């Protein structure tokens, strides 16, 4: 693994520029990914926030869905934020019937669980594996995780009462699950890229450096 890994950001739809900025701040070389040849050249991949049903359609239109799925199956490190978390789940609640996800993490995710755009909020959370002060997490039409399967590590929860919106928000003990890791896969409900705090991206860059999933020869 190179000292400065090349990490792609899926650039079909969503918050691409901010993720690239955060990856560069975290010590990686960030590149947009719109073609299979660009995907083949990266050592890690970020699936940004956006609109998961639109992203699913565009992945198929650009003939990228299967290439991405195959690289994830082969162990490519991936980080999905918000819509990206939905794309990594093996079960999606409240999604469209024709919506596809990669099934890279055994978990059930509920779309727009915290409410609509007007219900967006910020709160401080602790994230396992990230040292220092609490992370200021920004939730925008965010999902949450309702179930995790074997091998999935819960990294963060929203404290009970942090969000006033969303049916049943914070009812479960410890709050709703908003960050998980399963092997080479990382996912967050929130948008770390819209803050100046690059610690989540630093965590992911560390995952990429420790993986054996370089460019496709």
Q: Say if residue 217's pLDDT is above 80.
A: no
Give the torsion through C-alpha atoms of 107, 113, 117, 121, to 10 deg: -90
On whether residue 19 sits in a domain, the answer given is yes
Phi, psi for residue 136 in degrees, rounded to 5: -85, 105
On whether residue 181 sits in a domain, the answer given is yes
On whether residue 97 sits in a domain, the answer given is yes
What pLDDT is recorded for position 167?
A: 38
- The domain that holds 138 is classified in CATH as 3.40.50.880
pLDDT tens, residue by residue, 38-58: 999 999 999 999 888 889 999
pLDDT tens, residue by residue, 68-100: 999 999 999 999 999 999 999 999 997 777 778
On whether residue 217 sits in a domain, the answer given is no
pLDDT tens, residue by residue, 116-138: 655 578 999 999 999 999 999 99
Residues assigned a catalytic role: 82, 191, 193
For the chain, the domain total comes to 1
Residue 31 banded pLDDT, cuts 50, 70, 90: very high
- In this prediction the pTM is 0.90
- What's the CA gap between 143 and 166, in Å, rounded? 10
On whether residue 216 sits in a domain, the answer given is no
Q: Say if residue 59's pLDDT is above 90.
A: yes
Buried b (16+ CB within 10 A) or exposed e, 74-100: eebbbbbbbbbbbbbbeebeebeeebb
On whether residue 44 sits in a domain, the answer given is yes
Domain limits for position 174: 6-209
On whether residue 109 sits in a domain, the answer given is yes
| R_g of the chain computed on alpha carbons | 16
On whether residue 215 sits in a domain, the answer given is no
What pLDDT is recorded for position 161?
A: 62
Half-sphere exposure of 164 (CA within 13 A, CB side): 3
What pLDDT is recorded for position 165?
A: 43
What pLDDT is recorded for position 151?
A: 95
């Amino acid at each position: 693994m190179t000292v400065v890994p090349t990490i792609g950001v899926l650039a079909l739809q969503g918050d691409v520029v901010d993720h690239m900025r955060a990856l560069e701040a975290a010590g990686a070389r960030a590149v947009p990914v719109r073609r299979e040849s660009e995907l083949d050249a990266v050592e890690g991949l970020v699936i940004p926030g956006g609109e998961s049903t639109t992203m699913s359609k565009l992945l198929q239109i650009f003939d990228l869905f299967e290439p991405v799925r195959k690289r994830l199956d082969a162990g490519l490190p991936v980080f999905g934020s918000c819509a990206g978390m939905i794309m990594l789940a093996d079960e999606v609640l409240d999604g469209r019937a024709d919506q596809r996800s990669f099934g890279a993490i055994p978990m059930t995710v509920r779309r727009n669980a915290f409410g609509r755009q007007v219900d967006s909020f910020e709160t401080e959370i602790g994230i396992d594996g990230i040292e220092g002060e609490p992370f200021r997490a920004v939730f925008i039409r965010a999902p949450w995780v309702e179930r995790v399967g074997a091998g999935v590590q819960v990294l963060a929860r929203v404290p009970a009462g942090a969000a006033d919106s969303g049916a049943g928000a914070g009812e479960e003990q410890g709050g709703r699950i908003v960050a998980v890791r399963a092997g080479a896969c990382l996912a967050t409900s929130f948008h770390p890229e819209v803050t100046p705090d690059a610690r989540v991206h630093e965590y992911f860059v560390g995952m990429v450096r420790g993986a054996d999933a370089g460019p496709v020869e």
